[in-house]
Amino acid sequence: MNIQIKGGRVIDPAQSLDKVSDLYISQGKIIALGDAPEGFEADQTIDASGKVVSPGLIDLCGHLREPGYTHKGNIASETEAAVAGGITSVVTPPTTKPIVDNPAVVELIKDRAERANLAKVLPMGALTKGLQGEQLAPLHALASSGCVAFTNGRHANASSLALTRCLEYAATHDLLVIFQPQDESLTNKGCMHDDTTCTRLGLNGIPESAETIEVSRNLLLVEQTGVRAHFGQLSAERSVRMVMDARERGLPVTADVAIQHFLLTDENVNGFDSNFHLIPPLRSQLDRAGLRQALLAEGIQAICSDHQPHDRAAKEAPFASTEPGIIGFETLLPLSLLLVNQGLMEISQIIDKLATQPAKILGLESGSLEVGRAADICIFDPEEKWSLTAETTRSEGSNTPFMNFELKGRVSHTLIDGQLVYQL
């Protein structure tokens, strides 16, 4: 199908492009920007006047809950939420049931994603068998099956020797390893940041050292093995500073932070609302300020949603007994645009963190509107105000503190490989 996207503000950080222009698509590819190719006849025209046309967003961490936890969500429902948020590719962790530590599970996920025919699902494979931190998972076979990276998630790697062997193998085959750093002994069943608010509320706290100690150890092993590494969903300013220092020394490391950690702090837990129960926890105002500063200083390469749908029962209990996590696919873009509205960043910088840089981290050809690339495209109105409600969310979960919150910036169209998969 031939599609013309007409009169939009085309922003592509990969090409340093920001101008009002037309964009032309044929056979799933972008074939021209500006003037129409000779002989081009549009089968469909999308009027993007007053809107931004950008590369499709790439979310570096979104839990789809399938297989194994379909009472919380499934690939069809969650990818529907993703495309409604302008997300064209979702990286999903291996913490399913069964765990993604063999090619059969990868094939199952890919089959369900193809059946849904919405957002592209990019599975992460388990770094160790069963995420137990002991035996190396079959990384080469998992990569051949379609895994884009490998992680042990927030499960402990108790043996530094075993972790070293895993990283050496990954480095030999140029595989990307993603760390979600957490020292379980220091976490000690805590449920929020260990600070004065935590003490006042009588809740068990999680110190920032539960994250920073693991970041430090992992960086030392990255330096020793030379593996390509990414640190996902960091929450502490000190963690990000360590990664920034490592990059300055030439280590092949990158980092992302979930959007909620740029906006909220531990003080938001005051009302014991379980929608503020997150792992890693919301940190202090100083941490939030440090994360924002690092984002501006290019110390943080990407912003993600860390989307985690839950059934209602998982959040209906005393705060400490609830399951951590919030949904975020549909709110990722408008919440990120809050940083623009607050004067911290430009729209082009936000798109860079949501699309261009995630593609570079994963080694994907997407994340750009360059001629010849796949037509994965997000069209949104940066000025439109709206609210997400329990009735309108596409996700199976409704667990978010941003429910009924006035948002600014709304996706109107999402295209994947030149196919219109979402239209407002």
Write the pLDDT tens digit of every residue in 389-422: 999 999 999 999 999 999 999 999 999 999 999 9
What is the reported pTM? Answer: 0.96
Mean pLDDT, rounded, of the chain: 96
Q: For position 257, what pLDDT does the model report?
A: 98
The answer, yes or no, to whether residue 133 has pLDDT greater than 80, is yes
Query: Which residues, other chains included, contact 331 with Cβ-Cβ below 8 Å and sequence gap of 6+?
Result: 85, 259, 305, 388, 400, 402, 407
184-196 mean pLDDT: 93
Q: Could you give the CA distance from residue 116 to residue 105 in angstroms, rounded to a whole number?
A: 17
66-77 mean pLDDT: 97
Residues 203/207/208/210 CA torsion (nearest 10 deg): -120
SS3 189: coil
111-131 mean pLDDT: 97
Burial of 233 (0-12, 13-18, 19+ CB in 10 A): buried
Query: Which among 288, 217, 289, 284 has a CA at the least distance from the CA of 246?
Result: 217
Q: Could you give the CA distance from residue 114 to residue 92 in angstroms, rounded to a whole number?
A: 15
198-208 mean pLDDT: 96
149-173 mean pLDDT: 93
Q: For position 370, what pLDDT does the model report?
A: 97
Dump pLDDT digits (tens) for 265-318: 999 998 899 999 999 999 999 999 999 999 999 999 999 999 999 999 999 999
Dump pLDDT digits (tens) for 14-46: 999 999 999 999 999 999 999 999 999 999 999
Beta-strand pair 377-387/29-33: unpaired
Q: For position 157, what pLDDT does the model report?
A: 78
Active-site option among 12, 183, 266, 306: 306
Q: What percent of the chain has pLDDT over 90?
A: 97
- Per the annotation, the verdict on 306 as an active-site residue is yes
Q: Could you give the CA distance from residue 375 to residue 377 in angstroms, rounded to a whole number?
A: 6
Q: Could you give the CA distance from residue 167 to residue 218 in angstroms, rounded to a whole number?
A: 10
Dump pLDDT digits (tens) for 241-279: 999 999 999 999 999 999 999 999 999 998 899 999 999
Q: Could you give the CA distance from residue 239 to residue 399 in angstroms, rounded to a whole number?
A: 27
341-350 mean pLDDT: 96
CB distance 34 to 21 below 8 Å:
yes
For residue 232 the two structure tokens come to 């996902």
85-109 mean pLDDT: 98
For residue 280, is the peptide bond before it cis, meaning its omega torsion is within 30 degrees of 0?
yes
Q: For position 259, what pLDDT does the model report?
A: 98
65-70 mean pLDDT: 97
Q: For position 158, what pLDDT does the model report?
A: 78
Dump pLDDT digits (tens) for 351-364: 999 999 999 999 99
Spell out a b/e string for 379-414, using b for 16 or more CB atoms within 10 Å of the CB, else e.
bbbbebeeebeeeebbbbbbbbbbbeeebbbbbbbb
The answer, yes or no, to whether residue 156 has pLDDT greater than 80, is no
